Chains A and B, each alone.
Chain A
Amino acid sequence: MKQLYNDFFGEFGGRYVAEVLRSPLDELESAFVDALSDEAFMREFHRLLASYVGRPTPLLHAENVTRDVGGAQIYIKLEGLAATGAHKINNALGQALLARRMGKPRIIAETGAGQHGVATAAVCAKLGLQCRVYMGEVDMRRQKPNVFWMEMYGAEVVPVTSGARTLKDAVNEAMRDWSANFADTHYLLGSALGPSPFPDMVREFQSVIGTEVVSQLSALGVRPTTLVTCVGGGSNAMGFFSPYIHETEPELIGVEAGGRGPAQGDHAARMNGLGTPGIVQGYRSLFLLDDDGQVMPTHSVSAGLDYPGVGPQLAHLGQTGRVRFERATDSEALEGLQYFARKEGVIFALESAHAGMVAIRRAKELTPDEAVVINMSGRGDKDLFITARELDAERWKEFLTREAASL
């Protein structure tokens, strides 16, 4: 059954927060339910999705890759062609419009890779909202270009120096800010996780991805066999999968970060028995926890997948078997990145490249009258400083040294 606001998905979800955050979350829940049934609000959302975000994003028939792989037809939803380079802006725009409607002039957000931060900063500039982005110090260092762009949009980027100094710590810091300032501030959370109503709300704002895929495929007369996408917290996956989660077809595959391998601390995969049921950052789901319940360190070459918890609805869909989960390693992601660039002329974000590799594996097992659709959640421009260093270290170092010297 399809429902706007669920709170729980099977045993996962909920609103496990300190009392101080109850009134802002209760307020947000009713504002969100109200706005989504308001035609004027939705019209404004879709107007800006078209004119500002650049939707619909194309669905590409990857003919060269299809031929090379020799299995199912492969299609790529080029979500990375949305403004600011990833799907993140769909949710950022929806929530920022909601904040404006709620009369909250100040926006705070967390960011890991910086994609959600950049999308939020851009949307806040467009809508005239004040914006502060919390970002772990470690992430700020590895994603410097995104910090530059956020500041270009007029956002204040605040380094988070607590804990592991990555995404989860940025979430903690944003929750702290919200606790103190909710009267005039909306916390624009970037993935389909956190306390309710965030998982429901983020899915709804991201569902435009799946809705477009349905009509684009039907225009081509294609019935998909398999949908594949990457899973960090689960926002692009929930948006992409949403039209299909209550059906038995097509097959839905979520790809997690296999990192350097399955050893503790080397990956960010929570499904398939690696994660443990827990309650962290306001929601019940599967997390990478030690025996005491402490959150364990994670690793991925892609900052966007490097997070210890998975969104509650995806955890549930994994448990029911509706979504199957697989992993791709750091090196598989880098291989996928190069493969799609050379063969198809498309540069995937490292996050999305995880899905690309698993899609190829799956397509090989299928026949040419079947179809696999990959959601390329982001484009890879943002990863230049990581991929160049991983794939072409010597010449990249030479370049950087020369640049530094010329400053």
Chain B
Amino acid sequence: MSQQLLLNGIVHSYGASRAVDDVTLEVKAGELIALLGPSGCGKTTLLRIVAGFIRQAAGQVVIGDRTVDDLPPNLREVGIVFQNYALFPHMTVAENIAYGLVARGVGKADQRARVAEMLATVRMEGFADRKPRQLSGGQQQRIALARALAVQPRILLLDEPFAALDKNLRLDMQIEIKRLQRQFGLTAILVTHDQEEAMSIADRIAVMNSGRIEQLGSPVAIYDAPATPFVNSFIGSSNILDGVVEDGRIRLSVGAVLPCKAPDLPQGKAVQVSIRAEQLMLVRDAAPDRFPVTLTLSLPIGGQLIHDVAASDGTTLKIATARHPGDASSLPGTWHCALTPEARPSIFPQPTP
């Protein structure tokens, strides 16, 4: 039965450097949370604390309604899939999957049945007698997953499980993991530094930066309303424009006044406005809330046209528009940059240097 996982004020340092800094996170039963963040922000460290490989300096790990801080890893019932899979090279696929069952003293017949069931679950029937080195990366990944799931863990931890896979296989495996996670109602944490991956399979995303969780929310909320400039820059590509608060609106340095409400910022406050590439468009006519740009380049990327434009003060922006069949690039000439009607720019106070 799936159980909830509660991390309460977790702190961990390696020597003088804080790897995990006061992380509080509640993963609901049956929920998949993606831990997203740049390299070295403490994602693996946090997972290792949950699994019990590292003892945190402060804070509690609670699984279900039980604090597990004093339990060694072998008693925590936390399944973990490593980035490099860590299959036992001297054992066959079947022995790998049965490893946790043997350790729990499950009978031979039950082991066999369970191994067959797990192989079917990850669609790897017929591979039972291979050694790990005789499998492809994606196949090893499936076996690592089967091995972790065979013992029916209360929590499943996945540390960048797709990092070594090529793009197509990665998509297959993402769907696979999502399917299994739903099927078993697993409470899971998936570590990744691929924001698209996090957006596509997680129920909620926790964005981490230097040991802290900067924002926790649904993928849509994180994309549409990033809480901090860091989250904004980490999720999706954005255009950053400088501006000043003026009568509750924002005057941009590129020469336009945005009609959007600046939430409780004092008059004259310097701000940064972040606008997603697909929330901008190119128009011919001038208006107070538009600014003139020169179009330097248009690239067709799949179904989109990506325009590279420069504003009057030299700021470069990227604008993404839907490409109509046959369109290759936009025409040269004077253009104005405008916000699409549904645009929701994010406004952050200008960081003080």
Same complex for A and B? Answer no
Enumerate chain B interface residues (CB-CB to A < 8 A). Answer: none
